[in-house]
Structure 1
């Protein structure tokens, strides 16, 4: 997303290396920074996903409706998107360390607010702070990984960013559910332990090298996403598919944990959070093997699998089964991973081919559409559940999601020839 700025930034960690042992020390230092940044991304994403397993406890504690529950989940995106668009250029101007420290600060603030929340409104404030933290870390963290990858291997750094994000998002619900289920102070202790886990990351960021002089400043600190006309067809076909895939994942992170408790009679918070964790684990696994598939095939199979997962949710609604729900979760997770990988590859290749000077803005727009897709279906689910009840809402959401996925899958196949003319089918 910030590839243009990264090309402008000098790699300072080896600029003072001389003969002898100095390069080895520098390489070791760079490696420590790289692994420390990976740890930071995992922990920050873990913290942002702790509330997923705790929504049923919050509802019991504060007595809010399903709509409020989904709004608490979705307001996270309201903090994330502006943060993503603001802190990316700011990290180019002031350095990664400053922005990463801001991310840690907002993450700690969110944890404190959520841990000591005594009313529903504080849950909203805490989630906004978490969103700002993840947006800032996403903006500067991926760039910092590339800058501190010992061999300057862009592929390895990109894979690390994907894996750490997915790992943190997977561990968060499991960690929050396990601590709340088996340890005292269920709504406080998860955040206390998370804050302690952030301390090593804070020390690591403080030890990052300061930015050097001469780095270019962006023309504006808040960049509005823009998609050049030549790639808009590829962009929208890919981005809308990712939005649907993220929408399905959003349901597993906001609604499904509570749905499991009511539908299957499962009260264990680890099981409730496990569905949200499993969907992300399957997603990242699918992304690891996605490079073996062609771009269009990967994108089409992904969105088709998400649609099949929506039909599977409909079946589970009528035939409650934990085993069946696990199968559906795997399908949705694999679909999300394939859809995201294929769409990212399609948009990135199209931008590089037809609009190389607008790659950053194009990818910013791509992630914006995806994150909006994460929030909107969850809000719609909350409205439907509040008005019509969980059973009817799941039926409606599953049918709408399956139909939209089917339409996009057909469009993806029909535009295959045009896509092949604009971008490579393999990577």
Structure 2
């Protein structure tokens, strides 16, 4: 039961992470802010999450998983309420920052709890769940928000963020039904010093997987920060569903690929992932240059399989290697690397949009992702045999 409760909470968490993206063009029109500000609103989430991960990444190793997870879910409920009531840029930025704080509390603690609660008769289930569930949640959030905007219209904010607020409060209560898997131990205050650490046994595997991890999350940042505006402004996607489909295509394909590749070796998964990221992003840029929305979405699906495979390869490699009392620390390191790759390029893209425009920024950003993914594939192909 505990394994299922945490997976449901993790899914709801990631639905909430991607749900705001299709709303940005609507809120931009209603409140009035520039495209640069829209990209920065997206980026402050990743930066707030990173700061929180650096400070609290191993906190659940000391206080227990349940208190940290429950606190993170309640913080997310506050952020959803702020989105729901947002009538100014200040409130919108505040909502995104608070959401980043909550996400930072949850990423490492939830991932560690999934591993802790892995059913004894299903070895490897935690690595698959920690890969499939987040991507499935991200895919669902973008699609559901787009559907709400197209069909609920003026009530869309209430439908999405009102429901998410309620769900986060309910999940914060439900998590106490799961058994506690990390006993309290000394050092909680000391653990708040900003640092990133990888347990020694996991270090070599983590470093091998790092290039593909960075390439995968840089790709995700490209689609989540620029995808909806590109569909709306460059590719003629008038409906909110079509704008949300970019997020759904990338992450839905990634989730499916994690399941398909669950029996592959870590090396095969990572090689496929990095190679497909490079090819898929290149095809995305070709579709953008051609002005084709169907091909843009098809390329996002192809790139998404690479994103999912890259993420699964990392989780498969490092998950079994950390002792229980250091799992929070390990997953904090994984997600710090992920969200640096995700957030920093998005911040730079925000400034690029203001200087050279959306289309040229997307082409430059995508070209960098192609190079990163190609390098990750070459390093994995020739750097080691395991």
Q: Which residue of 1 aligns with 2:131?
A: 162
Matched, 1:267 2:238: yes
Matched, 1:72 2:41: yes
Matched, 1:287 2:258: yes
Cα separation, 2, equivalents of 1:174 and 1:138: 22
Q: Kindly report which structure 2 residues correspond to 1:140-179, keeping only aligned pairs within 5 A, or say none.
A: 140-149=109-118, 151=120, 153=122, 155-179=124-148
Cα separation, 1, equivalents of 2:94 and 2:243: 24
Does the residue aligned with 2:160 lie in a helix, a strand or coil?
A: helix
Superposition deviation, residue 412 in structure 1: 2.4
Superposition deviation, residue 218 in structure 1: 3.8
Q: Which residue of 1 aligns with 2:345?
A: 377
Superposition deviation, residue 291 in structure 1: 4.0
- The verdict on how the C-alpha distance between 1:34 and 1:347 changes in structure 2, with shifts beyond 3 A counting, is closer
Contact kept, 8 Å, 1:146 with 1:154, in 2: the verdict is: no
Cα separation, 2, equivalents of 1:239 and 1:108: 32
Q: Which residue of 2 aligns with 1:314?
A: 285
Cα separation, 1, equivalents of 2:245 and 2:89: 25
- The verdict on how the C-alpha distance between 1:52 and 1:338 changes in structure 2, with shifts beyond 3 A counting, is same
Matched, 1:204 2:145: no
Matched, 1:393 2:361: yes
Q: Kindly report which structure 2 residues correspond to 1:185-264, keeping only aligned pairs within 5 A, or say none.
A: 185-208=155-178, 215-218=184-187, 220-222=190-192, 224-226=195-197, 235-264=206-235
Cα separation, 2, equivalents of 1:43 and 1:167: 10
Cα separation, 2, equivalents of 1:35 and 1:114: 28
Q: Which residue of 2 aligns with 1:60?
A: 29
Superposition deviation, residue 133 in structure 1: 1.8
Cα separation, 2, equivalents of 1:234 and 1:150: 24
Cα separation, 2, equivalents of 1:57 and 1:300: 39
Residue 127 of structure 1 is aligned with which of 85, 96, 112? 96
Cα separation, 2, equivalents of 1:303 and 1:127: 30
Cα separation, 2, equivalents of 1:407 and 1:163: 25
Contact kept, 8 Å, 1:53 with 1:269, in 2: the verdict is: yes
User: Aligned-residue CA RMSD in angstroms?
Assistant: 2.9
- The verdict on how the C-alpha distance between 1:195 and 1:229 changes in structure 2, with shifts beyond 3 A counting, is closer
Any idea what the Cα deviations from partners look like across 1:243-268, whole Å, max 9, x if unmatched? Answer: 12111111211211111011222221
- More displaced, 196-205 or 126-135? 196-205
Cα separation, 2, equivalents of 1:202 and 1:356: 23
- The verdict on how the C-alpha distance between 1:250 and 1:233 changes in structure 2, with shifts beyond 3 A counting, is same
Cα separation, 2, equivalents of 1:229 and 1:366: 14
Q: Which residue of 1 aligns with 2:17?
A: 48
Cα separation, 1, equivalents of 2:86 and 2:161: 12
Cα separation, 2, equivalents of 1:234 and 1:336: 18
Superposition deviation, residue 154 in structure 1: 5.2
Q: Kindly report which structure 2 residues correspond to 1:28-47, keeping only aligned pairs within 5 A, or say none.
A: 31=1, 33-47=2-16
Residue 364 of structure 1 is aligned with which of 320, 332, 337? 332
- The verdict on how the C-alpha distance between 1:299 and 1:116 changes in structure 2, with shifts beyond 3 A counting, is same
- The verdict on how the C-alpha distance between 1:116 and 1:368 changes in structure 2, with shifts beyond 3 A counting, is same
Cα separation, 2, equivalents of 1:314 and 1:239: 25
Contact kept, 8 Å, 1:235 with 1:347, in 2: the verdict is: yes
- The verdict on how the C-alpha distance between 1:191 and 1:292 changes in structure 2, with shifts beyond 3 A counting, is same
Q: Which residue of 2 aligns with 1:403?
A: 371
Contact kept, 8 Å, 2:116 with 2:181, in 1: the verdict is: no
Which TM-score applies when normalising by structure 2?
A: 0.88
**Larger RCO (alpha carbons 8 Å, 6+ apart):** 2
Superposition deviation, residue 128 in structure 1: 1.6
Cα separation, 2, equivalents of 1:88 and 1:409: 29
Cα separation, 2, equivalents of 1:200 and 1:363: 25
- The verdict on how the C-alpha distance between 1:121 and 1:236 changes in structure 2, with shifts beyond 3 A counting, is farther
Cα separation, 2, equivalents of 1:397 and 1:164: 27
Does the residue aligned with 1:117 lie in a helix, a strand or coil?
A: coil
Q: Which residue of 2 aligns with 1:180?
A: 149
Aligned residue pairs total 383
Contact kept, 8 Å, 1:180 with 1:190, in 2: the verdict is: no
